[in-house]
Structure 1
Amino acid sequence: MENELPDDIDQLKAMLRKQRTMLNDQQTRLRQYAGQLAGYELEINRLKAQLDKLRRMLFGQSSEKSRNKLENKIRQAEKRLAELENRLEAAKNCLNDDKPVLDAPTDAEVAPQTTPGKTARNTSRKPLPADLPRETQTLLPADSVCPSCGGELKVMGETLSEQLEIINTAFKVIETVRPKLACSRCDVIVQAPLPAKPVEGSRVGSSVLARILVGKYVEHTPLYRQSEIYARHGLALSRNTMVRWVAMMGNRLRPLYEALNRYVLLTGKVHTDDTPVRVLEPGSGKTRT
């Protein structure tokens, strides 16, 4: 029987990299299918509980109008339940059809060991979105050989657990170094000009100003609350300083405002929403617009 594998090491490495890529893609799809299964099962259990409640409410109803409403809700819930059960069955088929093909361990090998007196708890948590970026950390055992007999250890499976994290707003300082160069023959000194700043004489950058403006006018976060938020990050930005920055940015953005105003007024009809947004005024305990 001829050996199907090539003798060239580079070709073997390329085949191994290709198989690893295919395996990683397959494992990603399996995790997505498992997340869909968990979501469908959770929704099905919720609908079943809702159906039981509606059927109990339907029993003994004397008003014909109330009975019609309950029966309509029951029919909608049953239709949704049947649709979810079909989706669940399709997801199970996809999961079974896309099982790993590389030395998959048997059920007996990967069966979790339970402590006597404790049963496995069925969790109903919603799966994390599959489109979130993921960072994989591999934790290897401390022992490279069997701690009992010293034999070689082989991979028989793996346990995957997920943990949701958030990356907080991180500040950084950009240091601009401008060397001074002096002529060796005369007294001429040359130096690169300082780049333009959004606020002359200040150390604030454009990204910080954008964050302050978005927080105030989009997220409706008052400046005094933003000052407290930045203080928790170890950065002291007083409310009065940010008020001056906001006023200066308003003057800088006035040409854009005037251009947008002219464009809006060109139309035949103008629709506006003057709903006020009420915020807390610091120190008084009262709200202001």
Structure 2
Amino acid sequence: MLDAADLPDDIAALKTMLLAAQAREVRKDERIERLEKLVAAFKQAAFGRKSEKADPEQFDLALEDLETAIAAIHAEDEADSRSGKPHSKPRAANRGSLPARLPRIEEIIEPESLTCACGGGLHCIGEDMSERLDVIPAQFRVIVTRRPKYACRACTDGVAQAPAPAR
């Protein structure tokens, strides 16, 4: 997009810029039309009624024409984009963790029972923690779900943990 400060005040210069832009558009439209015709001819030659009779080397000629035309269009587009403003860098996205400034609501989901099948008590050996963003109109908050893992010290029957809630 052009900035109003970049445009000249002279009407003749503005007209010249407008005519140059229209000429570029016409050239691009003509190239696109030519490429579409080449693609249609290539499809006809490759998949048409008499495709088995065609010489395979002729397909290479059609592909060379396409590659040449595409390279010319790319070169012109790069020249046009260089003359304009430089492209800004894409926004960096942090998908690792949610910002610490958001309020957090912690909910701890315990297993149904903290007694082992052998009769011993389960003790906490770790936990799974997940964070998800919850949106309340005009307010953001993070819901932290903790699911402690419990194991018995008396036996090795395994680990007890509550199932994860639906998201």
Q: Which structure has more strand as a fraction of its residues?
A: 2
Task: Give TM-score scaled by structure 2 length.
Answer: 0.39
Q: Which structure has more helix as a fraction of its residues?
A: 1
More contact order relative to length (CA 8 Å, sep ≥ 6): 2
Task: Give TM-score scaled by structure 1 length.
Answer: 0.24
